[in-house]
Structure 1
Amino acid sequence: MLQPRRYRLPAGLLAGCCLLVVAGCQTGQDIHPQATLPQLDAIQPGQSIAGQASATAATASLPTLAAGDWWRRYGDPQLERLLGALAEQAPDIALAEARIRRAQAAVDTIGAADAVQFGVSASAALEHFPDHYSYSSQYAGKSGSEGLLMADARYRFDFWGKRQAANASAQARQQAALAQAADAGLLLQTAIVESYLQLDSVHKLRALAEAALNQRQQTIALLASRVRAGLATELDMVAARDALTQTRGELANIDAELPRRRHQIAALLGQGPAFGDTLAAPALLQLADPLPPSILPASLLARRQDVQAQRAMVEAAQQDIAVARAAFYPDIDIAAFAGLRAFDLGQLMRPGSVAAGVGPALSLPLFDGGARRGQLKQRSADYDAAVAAYHHTVMTALQQVADGVVALRGARQRDELAQQTMRDWRVAATLQQQRAHSGMAGALAVNAAQLALLGSQRRALEAATRTGLAQLGLVRALGGAWRPASATSTNPAVAAATATAAAQSLPTSQR
């Protein structure tokens, strides 16, 4: 009796197949990113930041202001209303929120792959069954019908951590989107506050210019009397009229600057010029100088949302590398189906038409022309680029903090000098007024002293504005989280605001 011959797969061929599978899984181990993530603790902060150590330690008992409400320290109800409505009106904030929703959707999409996938399919067809195919003689060469009603399920195992890495990458990108939105919000807040500070300065400059205009008009009136008395010449009148014309020109420029500043604020809020026209004059308190909460780069930069966003992008790029490496290993699924299938639609709903099955499935492309290696190289290069961008952001952030500290220090020194000059001129104006009461000085001398005082008040206001803008720049550099140099703010506005009130209260002619 003849025995059926059994064919066995040659051992060499079997070993070769195993080697191919192993080679397919191992190719790519020689590809690695080149960049090294910088360690923040190893970065030297520099003398400008380190020089704040004693001031920072002296204010350790004071709370660090949160990045979300630092602007409340200005104590201006109108400013609080503007920034409170920022999230609802500003286009930049709306764009950032759209990016957050997109990142969240990516997380949900990738997370869905961890669940069992279910599906249902149904079909019905009239067809002619060919002779030369897999149909039995009962159907071959005949016409008939075919029906199917099937439910199927599939689950892909994550033995190599591919989906876990993809999910971690999506979550890191979501964190980056949140940080970018917070950073965009801070930049927009500081831009609005900057325009608001300048609007406040323009209002006060106008009050000083009006006071100077009144003084110059009185000077012309006094000179006219002296010309008629033969005590002055027309040359003196020409010089006085020229100064009056210049002051009127300054007022015209200021009147044009006021609506421009209002419209700028409205545009930042996503509003039209009509909204800006409704803004009243600011009523700001003077901020205490901001101090860094810490001089350690790791703690200092932890509050910078742009740094946190770039760090999250580095983490996302690192997880993308893990996804690309997992692609070298086979995908293993388990699939199951159950339902009804029949060649005759009339037999579809009968018990004999029940079909069911379950089993594993393995997928591994052995030869892909280097596509997976190219993908891994691309992901490694993306990681190097993310690390470089993170390093650049860290260095830029430290530079901005150091520059902000230096700029504020210089602005504060100029502010103090301008305040001292203003105080000196106030004393001189008072003395000149006393001399006029004693008959030792004339009205022109009093007016000249008061004009000089107004000039010093204007310089003090400009210096105070530069100090306020320097404070704001340091707040922006610190990520909106800072510690005030003193427990309370000064009241009111800036020292130049009291100078304006004093200028308006001074006598404008000889009493």
Structure 2
Amino acid sequence: MKSPSLSAPAPSCRAAVAAAVAALALTGCANYIGIKSDKQMAAPAQFESAQSLPAQGGQWPSLDWASQFGDPQLPALVNEALEGSPSIAQAQARLAKASSYIESTRSNLYPKVDASYSWTRELYSENALFPPPFGGTWYSENNVLASASWDLDLWGKNRQRLGQAVSQEKAAEADMQQARVTLASSVASTYNQLAQLYALREIAEREIDNRQDISRITNGRVAAGLDTNVEKQTANGNIATSQANLTELDGQITTVRYQLGALLGKGPDRGLQIAKPVLNPGAVVALPDNVPADLVSRRPDIVAARWQVEADTHGIKEAKAEFFPDVNLAAAAGFDAFGWGKFLTSSSRQIQFGPAIHLPIFDGGALRSQLKGRYADFDLDVANYNQTLITALSDVATQISSIRSIDKQSGDAQRALDASRKAYELAVIRYKAGLSPQLQVLNADQNLLAAEQTVTNLKMRRRDLQIGLIKALGGGFDATATGLVVPTDAPSSAHASN
């Protein structure tokens, strides 16, 4: 007679039990339900700029833009600064650090293999775990073990971490390019400031000559009894004032030379070795076509901000993968024996293998908090990208508008200078002939000085704005030529990773 046995559950019963267990596990596990973001990066077309940034058929700046000003010393100084400035070295160090993080994160995608060996000499107690003859005897234990492990990365956590590291490296590289553009434009602007001071110095020298001429005429009139000692002392005082202005300009020139030396990454004496600038007048300025759309790949700061958003997207996906089980395969093999006699024999073998599974069930909200932080980083960097784009468009529009305004002012200023020069020449003739008082010629001299300074300052200001426009247009940077173009399938918002 057969003993009774329990019958196996029916297939439908097993399925129901499995479904119930799965439902219980899912409801008990940590999840990211309700955590999301609706922030999106703005497109250039969202911002109206057709009137401010019209298509004019101009060219984007090239990397050798400094040569267009006709002074061979300027591009040489720019290259010297880019090669030796500590600010560029700092940006390069940040890029190297980001690159090293890529190597460390990429290693998580591959199996890891380790080997170890240990030798232990131990006296075992007679009254503990091992009885005699082991207890109370010295023994040597040899252990050699080779182990391997591999994180299967079923949910792409490690791959997203690598993608984040790559994006951050791209952002660091774009930041370095921005540092180069900023440094080059700073060198050019400071060099233009030096040229402006030299031009004003030439005006000051001519002013001293003019006032010395007036003083000589005054001395003759005093000797003839036509003027008094008041006019004589006034003329002498004006000469001294002009000489003081000249001395002040010399001090400013020395200061700017020191600034150039610092920009070049050298000592102040390097600035004293720079020759007098011989810059040409600024050329005609025309905006390239389709500035708003193309600016996003021409401005390194915009490209850096875009890559940072891309890094945040990978970070969000990595944080979401933390909610799913980790599966790690591990295996080890080796030998373990007392003494040396049987150390490497088959009886001393040790082998172990098996998967390790980690499933977050209850973590007190740590994973959700981490994901919320990643979304906050995403929202912040999206806002930063949008602000960078708005600032870039405004920067270009401001520079081109200021150049157009100065072009109009320059014509009027030049006509005023021509009239002031003629008035001064006539006033000198009349004063010398005794037909007008000294005050009239001094007023004409003052008007001529102001007119010359205005024309010179406008010319230098226009060139400085032209340098600013070059920087605003990216300073010759092109993401397509440097491999920094963001993938076209990259999401523009966090929705793609929800």
Moved more, 165-174 or 76-85: 76-85
Q: Could you tell me the TM-score, scaled by structure 1's length?
A: 0.82
Instruction: Find 1:348's aligned residue among 323, 343, 347.
Output: 343
Cα gap change, 1:138 to 1:152, in 2 (>3 Å): farther
CA contact (8 A) 2:183 2:263 kept: yes
Letter in 2 for 1:276: G
Could you tell me which of 198, 211, 235 is aligned with 1:240? Answer: 235
- In the other structure, the counterpart of 1:36 is 40
The 8 Å contact of residues 317 and 382 in structure 1, kept in 2 or not, is answered as yes
CA distance in 2, matches of 1:365, 1:139: 45
What is the rounded CA distance, in whole Å, between the counterparts of 1:260 and 1:194 in structure 2? 14
Relative to structure 1, is the Cα distance of residues 138 and 394 closer, same or farther in structure 2, using a 3 angstrom cutoff? farther
> Secondary structure at the residue paired with 1:416?
helix
Distance 2:370 2:135 in 1: 48
Instruction: Pick from 310, 314, 329 the counterpart of residue 319 of structure 1.
Output: 314
Instruction: Specify the SS of the correspondent of 1:367.
Output: coil
CA contact (8 A) 1:195 1:265 kept: yes
Q: CA deviation at 1:24?
A: 6.0
1:400 and 2:400 correspond: no
After TM superposition, give the deviation of residue 23 of structure 1 in Å. 3.9
1:123 aligns with 2:123: no
- For 2:364, what is the secondary structure of its paired residue? coil
Q: Does 1:477 align with 2:481?
A: no
Indicate conservation of the 8 Å contact 1:152/1:335, yes or no: yes
- TM-fit CA distance, 1:326: 0.4
Q: Give secondary structure in 1 for the equivalent of 2:116.
A: strand
Matching residue's letter, 2:42: P
Deviations 1:212-269 (A, max 9, x none): 1112112111211111111222222232222212211211111111100101111222
**Aligned-pair CA distance for 1:17:** 5.2
Report if aligned partners of 2:149, 2:330 keep a CA contact under 8 Å in 1: yes
Offset of residue 344 of structure 1: 4.1
Counterpart Cα distance in 1 of 2:269 and 2:21: 76
Distance 1:370 1:205, change over 3 A: same
Q: Which residue of 2 aligns with 1:497?
A: none
Query: Is residue 187 of structure 2 the alignment partner of residue 192 of structure 1?
Result: yes
Question: Which range moves more in the overlay, 251-260 or 422-431?
Answer: 422-431
Of residues 8-17 and 83-92 in structure 1, the stretch that sits farther from structure 2 once superposed is 8-17
Structure 2: how far apart are the matches of 1:237 and 1:295? Answer: 64
1:80 aligned onto 2:75: yes
8 Å contact kept, 2:126–2:132: no
**Deviations 1:286-343, CA, capped at 9 Å, x for gaps:** 2324433234422133211111111111111111000000011111122222221224
Partner amino acid, structure 2, of 1:65:
P
Q: Quote the residue 1:170 is aligned against.
A: 165
TM-superposed deviation, 1:415: 2.0
Residue 121 of structure 1 aligns to which amino acid in structure 2? S
Q: How high is the sequence identity, in percent, across the aligned residues?
A: 31
SS at match of 2:52: helix
Moved more, 69-78 or 321-330: 69-78
Q: Does the 8 Å contact 1:294/1:300 carry over to 2?
A: no
Structure 2 unaligned runs (5+)? Answer: 478-498
Comparing 348-357 and 115-124, the one that deviates more:
348-357
- Aligned-partner residue type, residue 22 of structure 1: L
The 5 A counterparts of 1:95-244 are 95-127=90-122, 128=124, 144-244=139-239
Match of 1:379 in 2: 374
For the Cα contact (< 8 Å) 2:82–2:184, is it kept in 1? Answer: no
Note closer, same or farther for the CA distance 1:341–1:304 as it changes in structure 2 (3 Å cut): same
Please provide the CA RMSD for this pair: 3.5
Matches of 2:4 and 2:459, distance apart in 1: 104
Moved more, 113-122 or 296-305: 296-305
| Counterpart-to-counterpart distance in 2, 1:257 and 1:218 | 27
CA displacement at 1:272 relative to structure 2: 1.7
The whole-number CA distance in structure 2 between the counterparts of 1:275 and 1:264 is 10
Output the CA distance in 2 between the equivalents of 1:161 and 1:412: 58
Letter in 1 for 2:36: H
What is the aligned length?
469
Q: State the shift of 1:430 in Å.
A: 7.3
- Give per-residue Cα distances to partners, 1:96-136, cap 9 Å, x unaligned: 11110011011111111122211111112234389887x89
User: Residues 3 and 273 (structure 1 numbering): CA distance in 2 closer, same or farther, change over 3 Å?
Assistant: farther
- Residue matched to 2:484: none
SS in 1 for 2:341: helix
What SS does the aligned partner of 2:144 have?
A: strand
Following superposition, the deviation at residue 26 of structure 1 comes to 6.5
With over 3 angstroms needed to count, the CA separation of the structure-2 counterparts of 1:109 and 1:289, relative to structure 1, is farther
1:64 matched to 2:60? The reply is yes
2:61 partner amino acid: L
Cα distance in 2 for partners of 1:130, 1:311 equals: 71
Question: Residue 293 of structure 1 aligns to which amino acid in structure 2?
Answer: P
Three-state SS of the structure 2 residue aligned to 1:335 is strand
In structure 2, the partner of 1:272 is 267
Q: Report the Cα distance in structure 1 between the residues aligned to 2:288 and 2:154, rounded to whole angstroms.
A: 45
Task: Please say if residues 103 and 174 of structure 1, whose CA atoms lie closer than 8 Å, have aligned partners that are also in contact.
Answer: yes
* Aligned equivalent of 2:488: none
Q: CA deviation at 1:138?
A: 9.0
Instruction: Classify 1:64/1:37 alpha carbon distance in 2 versus 1 (closer, same or farther; 3 Å).
Output: closer
Q: Which residue of 2 aligns with 1:333?
A: 328
Distance 2:444 2:103 in 1: 73
Aligned partners of 2:60 and 2:473 also within 8 Å = no
**TM-score scaled by structure 2?**
0.84
Could you tell me how far 1:2 is from its partner in structure 2?
Answer: 12
Question: Partner amino acid for 1:43?
Answer: F
Q: SS of the residue aligned with 1:200?
A: helix
Q: Distance in 2 between matches of 1:396 and 1:28?
A: 35
Tell me how far 1:427 sits from its aligned partner. Answer: 5.5
> Which shows bigger deviation, 225-234 or 249-258?
225-234
What SS does structure 2 have at the residue aligned with 1:406? helix
The answer to whether the Cα contact below 8 Å between 1:408 and 1:474 also exists between their aligned partners in 2 is no
Residue 420 of structure 1: SS of its match in structure 2?
A: helix
Q: Secondary structure at the match of 1:36?
A: coil
Instruction: Look up the match of 1:283.
Output: 278
Are 1:169 and 1:320, in contact at CA under 8 Å, matched by a contact in 2? yes
Aligned pair partner of 2:406 in 397, 402, 411: 411
